[in-house]
Amino acid sequence: MTYSAPPKSGQPAAAADRPDSAQARTVRVPDDREGQRLDNFLLGQLKGAPRSLVYKLVRSGQVRVNGGRAKAERKLEAGDEVRIPPVRLSEVGDKAPPPKGLLQALEAAIVFEDARLLALNKPSGLASHGGSGISHGAIESMRALRPGQTLELVHRLDRDTSGLLVIAKKRSALTELQALMREEGGISKRYLALLTGRMPDGVMTVDAALHVGLRQGGERHVQVNAAGKPSLSHFKVLERRGGQSYCEVRIETGRTHQIRVHAQHIGHPVAGDDKYGEVEVNKRLRDQVGLKRLFLHASTLEFALDGGKAPYLLNAPLAPELIDVLDRLG
């Protein structure tokens, strides 16, 4: 399943639907929000407000914590009193709600849910969260689908990558999972990818530091660079099809574009990668087997909560359009 973002709507939201506040209010921080950053707490309170507006309110001193000014990165404590100033979101432009088709697709994409977590099989083309030029990411859409529930992204996936995206329903699960992500081996991550060309047999380990740079226009571009952050990936060929290599990839770090850049580094870019891939090979795969997206899928996550007492093994099936590509490769 690949999601194509709809054109932006110019229709303003109905006045009754705007989360505007006519006067300042004071909110007491609940127990399950302890340790949350002030900016993230405010984003939860001011639904639909852009992050830039939240930072402006904090910098200008309109937001107060226990009567005093505070920085956006301040960690809140249970019982803190946060003054939230009146905000007219219509002044910065109203957002249309996520399209019904997207909400229906995400409802069908839920592959696991319990009292603490929800896991999506995120379609390619859908950002993990909204941002510059993106009105509705997966997390904003899930909040629209589940109004009244507390939902927080545990991690992110590249917009073009499909597969497992985990959302926490409880603050305790969010903090424990984020701690596991910082631990070596805390979470086991398995991806499926089609790499161009014939990879050698066995497991190829790539230990190459990655540095995130910015191109003109603000686009992120990642390169192998000794000055970057340590990054470790393990590539294993599962089978060869049509001269390409269908691989399992396990990563021990979670850097931006890690698999894509490591694959490029070893001379076998991910098929369909329009940023780090091979233009001619991508064109041939598009024309011959219909590959119109990045062939990279987050298939499995394994971890344990409650200090190791509650094991989780989450799986997201390969997207149908990627299965079709494998079948056509023969």
Q: Where are the domains of the chain?
A: 24-87, 100-173, 186-329
User: Is the Cβ–Cβ distance between 236 and 284 less than 8 Å?
Assistant: no
Cα–Cα distances in angstroms (integers) from residue 229 to residues 20, 52, 212, 253, 256, in the given order: 42, 28, 9, 9, 10
Which among 66, 56, 57 is positioned nearest to 27, based on CA atoms? 66
**Residue that is written with structure tokens 């230990």 in the block:** 207
Whether 124 contacts 294, CB under 8 Å: yes
Could you tell me the CATH superfamily of domain 24-87? Answer: RNA-binding S4 domain (3.10.290.10)
Catalytic residue among 94, 158, 160, 273: 158
- Count the residues in the chain: 330
SS (HEC) of the chain = CECCCCCCCCCCCCHHHCCCECCCEEEECCHHHCCCEHHHHHHHHCCCCCHHHHHHHHHCCCCEECCECCCCCCECCCCCEEEECCECHHHHCCCCCCCHHHHHHHHHHEEEECCCEEEEEECECCCCCCECCECCCHHHHHHHHCCCCCCEECCCCCCCCEEEEEEECCHHHHHHHHHHHHCCCCCEEEEEEEECCCCCCCEEEEECCEEEEECCCCCEEEEECCCCECCEEEEEEEEEECCEEEEEEEECCCCCCHHHHHHHHCCCCECCCCCCCCHHHHHHHHHHHCCCCCCEEEEEEEEEECCCCEEEEEECCCCHHHHHHHHHHC
Would 24-87 and 186-329 be classified into the same CATH topology? no
CB-based contact 44:30 (threshold 8 Å): no
Amino acid occupying residue 96: A
Residue 118 Cα distances to 90, 164, 166, 168, 256, angstroms: 32, 10, 6, 6, 23
* Inter-helix orientation angle 51-59/38-45, to 10°: 120
How much is the pLDDT for 38? Answer: 94
In angstroms, the CA 238 to CA 202 distance is 9
Question: Known catalytic residue: 158?
Answer: yes
User: Does the domain made of 186-329 have the CATH classification 3.30.2350.10?
Assistant: yes
CATH of domain 100-173: 3.30.2350.10
What averages of pLDDT result for each successive group of 10 residues across the chain (330 residues)?
A: 50 38 82 86 82 89 94 92 82 65 93 96 91 74 90 92 96 91 88 96 95 74 93 96 96 92 97 96 96 97 94 96 95
